[in-house]
Amino acid sequence: MKKRLLYIAPDHYSFYKVILDGFIKFSGYDVQFIYSNKSDNFKYKNLWERVYNFFLKTFTGKNIKKDYKLKYFEKKLNEYKNYDLLYINRPDIFSEEELNKITAKCNRSIAYYWDSFEKIEGQYETMKHFDKTYSFDKYDCEKYGMIKGHNFFYNSDNSQKPEYDVFFIGTYDKRYDYLIKVLESISIQNVKVHATLFSYDKTISKRIKHKNISFINEIVPFNEAYVFNQNTQIILDIQHDSQVGLSFRPYEAMGLKKKLITTNPYIKEYDFYNPNNIFIWDKDTTELPESFLNSPYQDIEENIYNKYKLENWVKSILS
């Protein structure tokens, strides 16, 4: 009988779907998946139920949404008596009691923290529950004794003829001004640049107009975002403030064998870094070197390329 893996994660941009698919295909386990934020999908039956829940929370402390999440979670968790391995993202979503209940049913446990402890409070307190803890943030690893993890790529189809020379996809946030500065500096070099930004604000495209920017109001699921990067020669990556680890953009670029422009200097520390393929844009940069624009992509060593495939990431992380 196959061993059983319990995978728990929130539904953030459908990111879990890529990992779940990888676990099912490559882990060798039977996989049981549980949403950790199931209450986010809760919908009131009508206005009266919403009003009823308001008074329920106010006067009794009970909450229909929380009850909904708890019933869903316990039903899924108890479908099996025990699990050979637990893999969990965002354990801080759960209470101490819930984490004890989860880990008690698992022979081994792994937690992967996708965000730094500085960014999300309450993560450090959950570490004690798990046998192995991973983080993409090297400073958190050094400070708290976690294992340094890395991301992966899951698509390598670069057969599409790109529309753009340089492209960025992301959210509309405080990086916007810097993004515009980079795009405008590059466009002067007769390079076709574009960015697609997500915002919940449906009026933003009327208020903010820029020739190199388009806005969307629906989140692009993580497992579909690669389609945008197939449509460019060079992928642009703009680092968030205080971000130390790498986003998924460098890995997507590697998988698609496309060049990368990034504002993250820490990329130099990675084994796939090649200045011919990766240009680091800093505050003093005003243009792209012609040598970078005009030279072809250089294939990296096969063993390094294979290391970052989803299949090998799964086998490594669960070992």
pLDDT attached to residue 242: 73
Are both 141 and 241 inside the same structural domain?
A: no
Split at pLDDT 50, 70, 90, the class of 51 is very low
Residue 77 lies in domain: 4-151
Residues 85 and 169 in one domain: no
pLDDT band at 68 (very low <50, low <70, confident <90, very high): low
Query: Considering the domain boundaries, does residue 319 fall inside one?
Result: no
Q: Is 158 contained in some domain?
A: no
In a shared domain, residues 254 and 220: yes
Sorting pLDDT into bands at 50, 70 and 90, what band is 244? confident
Token readout for 26 is: 């490559």
Asked, for residue 203, whether it belongs to a domain, the answer is yes
Asked if pLDDT for residue 40 goes beyond 70, the answer is: no
Percent of the chain predicted with pLDDT > 90 = 70
Same domain, 93 and 200: no
Domain boundary among 119, 151, 183: 151
Q: What is the CATH number of the domain that holds 268?
A: 3.40.50.2000
Same domain, 181 and 135: no
Report pLDDT for 90. 92
Position 273 pLDDT exceeds 50:
yes
183 plus 291 within the same structural domain: yes
> What local confidence, expressed as pLDDT, does residue 69 receive?
67
Is there a single domain that holds both residue 143 and residue 174? no
Question: Average per-residue pLDDT in the chain?
Answer: 89
Number of domains in the chain: 2
The predicted pLDDT at position 44 comes to 44
- Among residues 151, 173, 194, the one where a domain terminates is 151
Residue 47 has pLDDT above 90, yes or no: no
Q: Is residue 145 located within the same domain as residue 169? A: no
In a domain? residue 174: yes
Residues 227 and 195 in one domain: yes
182 in a domain, yes or no? yes
Higher pLDDT, 243 or 65: 243
DSSP per-residue string spanning the chain: ---EEEEEE--STTHHHHHHHHHHHHS-SEEEEEES-GGGG---SSHHHHHHHHHHHHHH---HHHHHHHHHHHHHHTTSS-EEEEEEE-GGGS-HHHHHHHHHTEEEEEEEE-S-TTTSTTSGGGGGG-SEEEES-HHHHHHHTPEE----B------SPPSEEEEEEEE-STTHHHHHHHHHHHHTTT--EEEEEE-S-TTHHHH---TTEEEESSPPPGGGTHHHHHTEEEEEE-PPTT--S--SHHHHHHHHT-EEEES-GGGGGSTT--TTTEEE--TT--S--HHHHHSPPPPPPHHHHHHTBHHHHHHHHT-
At residue 284, what is the residue type? D
User: What are 195-240's pLDDT values in tens digits?
Assistant: 999 999 989 988 988 999 999 998 888 888 889 999 999 999 999 8
- Higher pLDDT, residue 35 or 167: 167
pLDDT value at residue 202: 87
Domain boundary among 151, 185, 201: 151
Query: In this structure, what CATH number is given to the domain that contains residue 51?
Result: 3.40.50
In this prediction, residue 140 has a pLDDT band, given cuts at 50, 70 and 90, of very high
Q: Are residues 42 and 80 in the same domain?
A: yes
pTM, rounded to two decimals: 0.85
Q: Is residue 315 a part of any domain in this protein?
A: no
**Higher confidence at residue 311 or residue 136?**
311
* Averaged pLDDT for residues 260-271: 95
Do 184 and 289 belong to one domain? Answer: yes
Lowest mean pLDDT among 36-45, 126-135, 140-149, 152-161: 36-45
Q: Average the pLDDT over 96-125 and give the result.
A: 92
Spell out the residues 6+ positions from residue 166 whose beta carbon is closer than 8 angstroms to its own: 183, 186, 191, 192, 193, 194, 232, 233, 234, 235, 236, 261
What average pLDDT does this structure show over 168-188?
94
Residue 67 above 80 pLDDT?
no
The answer to whether residue 41 scores a pLDDT higher than 90 is no
